[in-house]
Amino acid sequence: MSQNLLTLTTENFDATIAEGVTLVDFWAPWCGPCQMLTPILDNHVAPAVAGRAKIGKVNVDDSRDLAAKFGIKSIPAILIFKNGQLVQQMVGIQSGDALVKAIEAVLA
């Protein structure tokens, strides 16, 4: 994973989302659409919101407790948090523009 995308685990999740805006992608290595979403996040979304929002990824196989906590049933699942509070949730692959617009709306 690139330096644009944070690897989130049970240990660092709460601290990472506690302040500011954070987009979290719940994914798995065996999920085709998840693999398609990673370069969108890395090459389009992260640069567009650099310095204003964080982009993180949670591997649902490694962090089943986080997936359960947020009721993740389908992946990729994209959750946007503001100061630790869930403010938006999307399921399925999304365009880079749609994700940037969603983050911009939360930042506004």
Active site residue ranges:
31, 34
Q: Give the span between the Cα atoms of 62 and 28, in whole angstroms.
A: 9
Beta bridge partners of 81: 22, 86
